[in-house]
Homo-oligomer: A and B are copies of this chain.
Amino acid sequence: MIRHTVAFTLRHPAGSPEEKAFLDAGLTLADIPTVGKFERLRQVSGKNGFAWGFSMEFADRTAYDAYNSHPAHVAFVRDRWVPEVADFLEIDYVPL
């Protein structure tokens, strides 16, 4: 299992309709067939500057690659992520 996480901040003001619209659009990623345990997360530590997170799990690298190249993911990155995300950090984990 590979857990793919990304912490991010948006260009939109906190509490804005645009912020909500982005987070709602992120739900489309959960429908990509190889995505499991999709979560939308609020980042609450004061020790970093990120406000939000997405987390999802893949069975293996093949499933992860299928997500990356899936048209719904490619469209989300192009149409929402690139224009609306100000900063982000991807962290991927495999349990020991």
CA distance A90 to B91 in the complex (A): 12
Number of A residues, CB within 8 Å of B: 26
| Residue A9 is within 8 A (CB to CB) of chain B in the complex | no
CA distance A95 to B92 in the complex (A): 18
Least distance between A8 CB and chain B CB atoms (Å) = 11
Nearest B residue to A3, CB-CB: B41
CA distance A43 to B5 in the complex (A): 11
Question: Which stretch in A28-36, A44-52, A72-80 binds the other chain?
Answer: A44-52
Nearest B residue to A45, CB-CB: B92
The answer to whether A96 and B23 have CB atoms under 8 Å apart is yes
> Which of B3, B48, B92 has a CB less than 8 Å from the CB of A90?
B48
